[in-house]
Amino acid sequence: MIEREEMPYDVVVVGGGPAGLATAIRLKQVDPELQVCVLEKGSEIGAHILSGATIDPKALDELLPTWREDGCPLAETPVTDNWHWHMTKKGKFSLPHAIQPPFMSNKGNYTGSLGNLCRWLAEQAEALEIEIFPGFPAAEILYDDKGAVLGVQTGDMGVDREGNQKGDFQAGMNLLGKYTVFCEGARGHLTKRLKAKFDLEANCEPQIYGLGIKELWDIPADKHVPGRVIHTQGWPMSESDSWGGGFLYHQANNQVALGFVTALDYKNPYVYPFEEFQRWKQHPEIRAILEGGKRVAYGARVINEGGWQSVPQLAFPGGVLAGCSAGFVNVPRIKGTHTAMKSGMLAAESIAAAIKAGREADTLQDYDDAVRSSWIAKELKLVQNAEPMVAKWGTELGTVLAGADMWLRTLFGFGVAKPMKHHTDASETQRADLYKPIAYPKPDGVISFDRLTSVSYSFTNHEEDQPVHLKLKDPSVPTEINLPVYAGPEARYCPAGVYEFVDAGAGPKLQINAQNCVHCKTCDIKDPTQNIEWVTPEGGGGPNYPNM
């Protein structure tokens, strides 16, 4: 038995993203006497934060109304110009704003780095005497003798690959709270356990995801239009039995954030999301913006795409889910920061009231009810069929039906169809013999790049002599099932080259290059046999995203 230090708090917040920080700040706004801590697995706040991002400031206005005057970096670049392109292989046409529901407009929104917004929010939190612990991942959930969540245990440091304690071993701490808020982001590894233990998805559809791959570029000043926002759909996904889309945002300092989201429910196991992104950048309209520029950063992260029908039960004994742990992304708008923050604020208000009433470790049903009667629910119900319609009927017909459904819900309160169902992304993967391999073009090293070079621009680092944090439930599955049946999709869906089939002399073997992992969680989601489990590595490991 390892002796562990115990640190008691009123509230423990797991995750230093926008939802976690909003939760902590609102708690102290409601009751300055509350003792609140925030755990962040990245080396600093913002190190693991990756988003487009074009942000609706609605929740930020509610949380910190003077943010524009208080030095928040998001205020630098309001959206000035908004385009939605349907791409063909060589050209494009713009979708008129008039045919899109009003909420699809980016008027009043801002584009910038979500990581930098979180860094600024952390400064506001620390000014309220909130304790923030970067580099301390929550590795285990602690329960009391009645089965209620009691807090979390941070990961041990200084353990070698075989699980032995090294000379610099440091035991993780037990952080105990009257309530624990899980804001781990999409596909949080503790959230996944909580959903199973408390059957939180009993009355909702399974969550589904998209893989977002992003780069930052410095471009020539004469090509830069501060505040211009471009979204694309159509090519190249139209060629590969899949769907998704691109984005390109003109942000501050002659920089553009661009990226590509591939819906992970694709059927063709030969689809290679990283290469789809590289192809997209070579489109004449995108290449024209990037030529003469320089790539400065790269990263990847999954995005919740299940919508309102995939929101689970949010409260359980001793804790709640908030932010992308629960899944509040508005898929057609490609926005979730405002809804994530609002959920954290509602959680904080419920928790503060419960503690004031002398309660602890019970189920905060009023928080769940508050979310379902809030503007989060109103917004997400308007778009709840957009993703499943495009997934079922394809980009062209699906977009038309989704648009009609959103307009009807906006104007009359009902849609083309009842809320549609989802299938897990893993279950959608089909056998490789039903498809032909896709021949992707070689990178030119100017606009398109190879995967391993790209990973170096994520500034990812892990201590090599530590337990591998990508666990195979059955080591034989990759070579006995995934490779012969699905053509080894793990070698393609990972945007960081973590998984590689190598010749081991007696046959192929799956090699796991865990040090490359950018913590996107795609493997935990898309593996067709659900044989891979992502767990947290040693604290501070992973990407170190600048300005992402």
517 is catalytic: yes
Residue 241 in contact with residue 224, Cβ under 8 Å? no
504-531 residues labelled b (16+ CB within 10 A) or e (exposed): eeeeeebebbbbbbbbbbbbbbbbbbeb
51 is catalytic: yes
81 Cβ contact list (under 8 Å, min separation 6): 225, 227, 228, 229
301 is catalytic: yes
389 Cβ contact list (under 8 Å, min separation 6): 398, 401, 402, 405, 416, 417, 420
Residue 55 in contact with residue 339, Cβ under 8 Å? no
350 is catalytic: no
523 is catalytic: yes
Q: What angle in degrees, to the nearest 10, is found between the helix axes of 365-372 and 375-382?
A: 50
The Cα–Cα gap between 146 and 60 comes to: 37
In three-state secondary structure terms, 399 is helix
Catalytic residue among 301, 409, 451, 492: 301
Catalytic residue among 118, 183, 324, 494: 494
In three-state secondary structure terms, 116 is helix
186 Cβ contact list (under 8 Å, min separation 6): 209, 301, 302, 303, 304, 324, 325, 327, 521
The Cα–Cα gap between 289 and 294 comes to: 11
Catalytic residue among 350, 517, 522, 536: 517
Catalytic residue among 228, 520, 522, 536: 520
Catalytic residue among 51, 113, 232, 460: 51
Output DSSP code: residue 96.
Answer: P
Phi, psi of 244 (to 5 degrees): 165, -160
96-112 residues labelled b (16+ CB within 10 A) or e (exposed): eeeebbeebebeebbbb
90: exposed, middle or buried (C-beta count within 10 Å: 0-12, 13-18, 19+)? exposed
In DSSP terms, 170 is beta-bridged to 157
The Cα–Cα gap between 241 and 269 comes to: 10
**Torsion, CA 244, CA 246, CA 280, CA 266, rounded to 10:** -10
Phi, psi of 320 (to 5 degrees): -145, 160
530 Cβ contact list (under 8 Å, min separation 6): 426, 473
94 is catalytic: no
Catalytic residue among 180, 310, 337, 339: 337
Counting Cα atoms < 13 Å in the Cβ hemisphere of 534 gives: 24
Token representation of residue 119: 């860094």
536 is catalytic: no
- The catalytic site residues sit at 51, 301, 337, 494, 517, 520, 523
